[in-house]
């Protein structure tokens, strides 16, 4: 039976983080600084979603000690209709870069961990970032393990597909327990009835029983998202959609972890 490993987000933030409250451009709520790091070096896709075709430097270059993290940060704040500041560090999507990152040995990955720890310290303590989000590839790659070490919270995105369940269980019990990181499950593509009616409490208990980890949130299947074909930032273009409301709830819950 094939086993699929889950996708993962690692989030790190300083103890002084301000509470997350969705704000409008005119609100008096203090603006937050958020950084998104694409650590999926084997199949980078965030630059495509965010329409980043070229970059002077990539996150690959930072880990290869070619540049500073400030050189990689791309300010995308103008794209969001909020006061928050949003920065993105893309992974190089070229085939040469993918082959290069796939060939890295353990010694290089250990140096990369040191660079990630320095990245964390610089962004949080020197540049005043409130959140850093590491988006990593599914499976047990060195980049994923490094992100776990650096992060404060690990969010595992999975489904109820049997192969996903087995892969997620192996990851949780074989890896996350080792690092003793706070871990939450984000259940995707759930049938609407199970996610939003009286079965919801049962769903939370089921996830806890299966994974021995709490359920952060359940996301229902939405045909609208499939129809969008990944060509838009869905929550930005559809602020009143139920999916957007769920994302806002997830952000608030993460802040309380």
Domains and CATH numbers, the chain: 7-256 (3.40.50.300)
3-state secondary structure of 182: strand
pLDDT tens digits for range 27-60: 455 578 999 999 999 889 899 889 898 999 999 9
Q: Say if residues 192 and 231 touch (Cβ distance below 8 Å).
A: no
- Other C-beta atoms within 10 Å of 170: how many? 14
Between 84 and 192, the more confident residue is 84
Amino acid 173: pLDDT: 74
Residue 37 is encoded by which pair of tokens?
């790091």
User: Which range, of 189-198, 217-226, 241-250, averages the lowest pLDDT?
Assistant: 189-198
Phi, psi of 19 (to 5 degrees): -60, 140
Instruction: Please give the average per-residue pLDDT across 95-120, as a whole number.
Output: 95
Amino acid 26: pLDDT: 44
pLDDT value at 93 more than 90:
yes
Amino acid 17: pLDDT: 41
The C-alpha atoms of residue 126 and residue 197 are separated, in whole angstroms, by: 45
pTM for the full model? 0.84
């Amino acid at each position: 039976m094939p086993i699929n490993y889950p996708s993962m987000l690692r989030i790190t933030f300083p103890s002084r983080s301000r509470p997350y409250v969705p704000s409008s451009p005119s609100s008096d709520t203090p603006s937050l600084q958020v950084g998104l790091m694409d650590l999926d070096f084997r199949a980078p896709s965030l630059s495509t979603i965010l329409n980043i075709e070229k970059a002077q430097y990539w996150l690959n270059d930072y880990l290869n000690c070619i540049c500073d993290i400030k050189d990689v940060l791309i300010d995308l704040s103008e794209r969001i209709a909020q006061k928050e500041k949003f920065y993105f560090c893309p992974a190089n999507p070229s085939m040469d870069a993918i082959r290069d990152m796939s060939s890295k040995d353990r010694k290089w990955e250990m140096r990369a961990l040191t660079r990630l720890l320095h990245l964390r310290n610089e962004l949080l303590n020197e540049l005043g970032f409130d959140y850093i989000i590491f988006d990593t590839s599914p499976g047990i790659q060195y980049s994923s393990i490094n992100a776990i070490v650096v992060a404060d919270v690990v969010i595992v995105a999975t489904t109820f597909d049997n192969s996903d369940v087995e892969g997620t269980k192996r990851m949780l019990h074989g890896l996350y327990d080792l690092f003793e990181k706070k871990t939450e499950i984000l259940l995707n593509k759930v049938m609407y009835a199970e996610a939003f009616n009286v079965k919801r409490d049962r769903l939370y208990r089921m996830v806890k029983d299966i994974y021995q980890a709490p359920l952060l949130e359940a996301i229902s299947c939405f045909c609208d998202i499939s129809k969008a074909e990944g060509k838009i930032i869905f929550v930005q273009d559809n602020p009143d959609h139920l999916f957007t409301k769920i994302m806002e709830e997830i952000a608030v819950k993460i802040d309380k972890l």
